[in-house]
Amino acid sequence: MEWQPDEQGLQQVLQLLKDSQSPNTATQRAVQQKLEQLNQFPDFNNYLIFVLTRLKTEDEPTRSLSGLILKNNVKAHYQNFPPAVADFIKQECLNNIGDPSPLIRATIGILITTITSKGELQTWPELLPQLCNLLNSEDYNTCEGSFGALQKICEDSSELLESDALNRPLNIMIPKFLQFFKHCSPKIRSHAIACVNQFIIGRAQALMDNIDTFIESLFALATDEDSEVRKNVCRALVMLLEVRIDRLIPHMHSIIQYMLQRTQDPDENVSLEACEFWLTLAEQPICKEVLSGHLVQLIPILVNGMKYSEIDIILLKGDVEEDEAVPDSEQDIKPRFHKSRTVTLQHEGGEGEEGEDIDEDDDDDDDTLSDWNLRKCSAAALDVLANVFRDELLPHLLPLLKGLLFSPDWVIKESGILVLGAIAEGCMQGMVPYLPELLPHLIACLCDKKALVRSIACWTLSRYAHWVVSQPPDSHLKPLMTELLKRILDGNKRVQEAACSAFATLEEEACTELVPYLSFILDTLVFAFGKYQHKNLLILYDAIGTLADSVGHHLNQPEYIQKLMPPLIAKWNELKDEDKDLFPLLECLSSVATALQSGFLPYCEPVYQRCVTLVQKTLAQAMVRTYRARQLVLKTGNELCPTSHGGVSTYKDMYNQHPDQYEAPDKDFMIVALDLLSGLAEGLGGSVDQLVARSNIMTLLFQCMQDPMPEVRQSSFALLGDLTKACFPHVKPCIAEFMPILGLNLNPEFISVCNNATWAIGEIAMQMGSDMQPYVGLVLNNLVEIINRPNTPKTLLENTAITIGRLGYVCPQEVSPMLQQFIRPWCTSLRNIRDNEEKDSAFRGICMMIGVNPAGVVQDFIFFCDAVASWVSPKDDLRDMFYKILHGFKDQVGEENWQQFSEQFPPLLKERLSACYGV
């Protein structure tokens, strides 16, 4: 018997659906409660599908709402539906996929996809054949509804459709979809391309087998009158450029001509999709070759696309000049992610690991309109093309730029300033002759009466900060800094934000050049504290932290501390322990503590205590959650799956299955607190001793070092290393428990965790001296393996080399037998580091190990010579150690052999060794 609704029940459900559309919050709450009650009855879902598919007399919004509530139930409870209910829903969906109403068809499509996302594609074998069959229906609605559902399935399950689990249905589906590229309805053509497009990036075999037909069919649709079809054609070509450029190369000239037209398409969705083509092409090796001849057409098109559209200006409130008193709405504030502390070494140029600190926010400044739009895409395309063509781009750009920058229309002028910022990186060399004239003009734009012009001028100037700092300070740095500081106090929030970010970039470039202006800078930043709304306050913390990083100990002056610390501590006291705004403030204080050193002492106690409390609270919450999860496991009878971390990963599973009963563990508070404790230990040095003595931080650290979350371990090892340097007597009693954990974390799968654990082991070795002996075996093999691994990042290689050297320094007998296994990579990874304490201790260790096992270095002695030559000024006793080893080797092999050996040296190395060591 087919299921039939009870009339009274049906009326009740309809009333509920009507009520749920009421704007009254009390009614809404009552509806929610009623829904929860009704969800206890499985056949409630039958009523919902019945209203969606059969009650054609009801209005469409009510029917669609019924389907959407059912979709949510499927999402949350599908595994508990009785088979009869699930079957009824599936049958109704397939029977009504061709409903006359587009809204109802779309809702049924969403419902089908939600069921398939529950792993039902395998247990609903008739679904795909039936949908594909319905594509042939004479009835347009049935064909369109089926295509709509298929498109959603292709989007959600592209990998599964290609797998053997379903007998590779794509082999039938792809040729079928291709037939519909010629359909008379634009909607159907568009669905067909969109379905096939889902399989390009994954290089689905069924598509690769039909690739030429696909490309021909795309070309046939290139000038389709329907904008949705054109958009999907452009999207397909952009993806093919990435995965099957070989097939496009023969047609590349025509494709580029086509994309030039489409980038100017009157429909912005099409022009945006086409504009992506230039971004993707710039990443291909053939870009320069195929695009050179088209730059003359392309550059003006991209520049034109960089203007704000009318809708952008409305959304950005472009005509609002003063809004600083308007409170921010919370949804405007993007979540911030804390970047855990990674210990790195100083290199020759003083830069960190290349590519490690790329600023993800380095976009033109309208990021509150975070939707990707034609303006942003055009700017990004110009930026990457400037990096491909370098100064060859300028002849096409410079004639346009003058007209833009001096235009009386502010929208055009603004786009010109954005163009200048976009090409800054790629065309810097060619721009240098024009900068002395351009910079004053850009600085003048910081005072423009239009806020959007002021804000883009901030961003563009920040892109030239490196050049500004390379000039005499009075020529550009001083005027730029003066004007940017005024903009930090602008009446417009967008300008405040852009100015603060630009100033942080300038700080990073200028470093100690800013010292003479510190008083003036701090006055401005502190004044902004009283002026800023919520969102910009968070950016202000960043600017202050960056200032502290850039000027370091120069900040440690009573007058500066007096200006800076009271407002920071006032904010610190204002924020509650569970307030996410603590993150940026903790990060900022961490930089300030490191810079102020002893100057931070008067403020350190409450800050230290709060950090310890945050760590303790987070650990306690995680334990309570794990305990509750275990209780739930016992209650539901699920077995705890054995994992290396007890019940924690099971807790995660429980959280995923019962999100309503648990909050996800939020360990960011703990990570940021550990990092600030590191900053305190680094800044205060020995003065942190008293604070550590009066707290249980070592016990907490023992727990954090074993946390399942890599970022927590990463920060705890950084703190362990800093505490080892600052107050080792408190660390020493824990070494026997800590060392095995450190050994387990020498796993390069988690680069930053491994890096910090390695560094901490080296610091402990230096403090332990020969007492390190029992622990060498726990770590040495892993360290030697890491230093010999291909593609290990530079920072990790250097830290590993230093730690091996330090272990050899304190325990040469234990480490030297393995010398031959690591000496070559050891030497090559440390030759680029500046002279410093860490390098000094590591090289002493190598010298001592060579003393114990000279045979271990013989085969790679040239690498040792090269590493020794990388020292600018070693301490006298270290220089003596080098001298003895070099001369010892020379005496051992004899003058003639040494001559032959040193003939292999590059001239510079030969010269240095001769001048410094007389060999």
pLDDT at position 269 over 50: yes
pLDDT at position 643 over 60: no
> What is the spatial distance between Cα 899 and Cα 448, in angstroms, rounded to a whole number?
70
pLDDT at position 352 over 70: no
> What is the spatial distance between Cα 771 and Cα 511, in angstroms, rounded to a whole number?
41
Q: Residue 372 has what DSSP assignment?
A: -
**Single-letter code of the amino acid located at 329:** S
**Which one, of 359, 386, 722, lies nearest residue 508 by Cα?**
359
8 A C-beta contact, residue 384 and residue 377: no
Residue 847 token pair: 């010298």
Say what the pLDDT of residue 334 is. 66
Q: What is the mean pLDDT of residues 513-527?
A: 96
Say what the pLDDT of residue 426 is. 96
**Which one, of 57, 45, 147, lies nearest residue 90 by Cα?**
45
> What is the spatial distance between Cα 536 and Cα 495, in angstroms, rounded to a whole number?
10
Name the pLDDT band for 659 (thresholds 50, 70, 90): very low
Under CATH, which number does the domain 7-244 receive? 1.25.10.10
pLDDT in tens, 321-347: 888 888 887 766 766 666 777 888 765
8 A C-beta contact, residue 567 and residue 529: yes
> Position of tokens 């996410």?
580
Residue 770, judged by CB atoms within 10 A of its CB (0-12, 13-18, 19+), counts as exposed
For 833, phi then psi, to 5°, come to -90, 145
**Which one, of 82, 54, 86, 56, lies nearest residue 70 by Cα?**
86
Q: Is the dihedral of CA 357, 363, 366, 371 positive or negative?
A: negative
For 347, phi then psi, to 5°, come to -100, 180
pLDDT in tens, 595-607: 999 999 999 999 9
pLDDT in tens, 674-688: 999 999 999 999 999
R_g over Cα of the chain: 33
> What is the spatial distance between Cα 172 and Cα 474, in angstroms, rounded to a whole number?
71
Name the pLDDT band for 630 (thresholds 50, 70, 90): low
> What is the spatial distance between Cα 554 and Cα 560, in angstroms, rounded to a whole number?
9
8 A C-beta contact, residue 765 and residue 758: no
Buried residues in 860-891 as b, exposed as e (16+ CB within 10 A):
bbbbbbbbbbbbeebeeebeebbeebbeebbe
Q: What is the mean pLDDT of residues 629-641?
A: 52
> What is the spatial distance between Cα 501 and Cα 540, in angstroms, rounded to a whole number?
8
**Which one, of 852, 842, 770, 849, lies nearest residue 806 by Cα?**
842
**Which one, of 500, 571, 575, lies nearest residue 540 by Cα?**
500
Say what the pLDDT of residue 665 is. 52
8 A C-beta contact, residue 662 and residue 645: no
Name the pLDDT band for 401 (thresholds 50, 70, 90): very high
Q: What is the 3-state secondary structure (H, E, C) of 600-633?
A: HHHHHHHHHHHHHHHHHHHHHHHHHHHHHHHHHH
pLDDT in tens, 173-223: 999 999 999 999 999 999 999 999 999 999 999 999 999 999 999 999 988
Give the least confident one: 21-25, 87-91, 175-179, 772-776: 21-25
Say what the pLDDT of residue 625 is. 74
**Which one, of 168, 240, 253, 178, lies nearest residue 213 by Cα?**
178
> What is the spatial distance between Cα 528 and Cα 535, in angstroms, rounded to a whole number?
12
For 327, phi then psi, to 5°, come to -60, 150
Domain parsing of the chain, residue ranges: 7-244
> What is the spatial distance between Cα 480 and Cα 465, in angstroms, rounded to a whole number?
9
pLDDT at position 514 over 90: yes
Q: What is the mean pLDDT of residues 81-105?
A: 92
Say what the pLDDT of residue 64 is. 93
Q: Is the dihedral of CA 86, 90, 91, 92 positive or negative?
A: positive
Say what the pLDDT of residue 423 is. 97
Say what the pLDDT of residue 371 is. 76
Residue 877 token pair: 């006793």
**Which one, of 528, 519, 534, 463, lies nearest residue 500 by Cα?**
528
Say what the pLDDT of residue 1 is. 67
Give the least confident one: 56-65, 640-649, 740-749: 640-649
Say what the pLDDT of residue 826 is. 96
Name the pLDDT band for 634 (thresholds 50, 70, 90): low
Query: What length does the chain have?
Result: 919
Q: What is the mean pLDDT of residues 266-275?
A: 95
